[in-house]
Amino acid sequence: MAEETIFSKIIRQEIDAPLLYQDELVTAFRDIAPKASSHILIVPNKLIPTINDVSADDEAALGRMITVAKQLAKEEGIEKNGYRLIINCNQHGGQEVYHIHMHLVGGEPLGPMLCI
Which residues are part of the catalytic machinery? 101
- Ranges of beta strands (E only) in 7-57 are 19-22, 26-30, 38-44
**Displacement of CA 93 from its chain's centroid (Å):** 15
**Backbone torsion region of residue 33, taken as left when φ is above 0, otherwise alpha when ψ lies between -120 and 50, otherwise beta:** beta
Which helix H or strand E contains 59, and what residues bound it? helix 59-76
CA torsion angle for 93, 62, 112, 72 (degrees, to 10)? -130
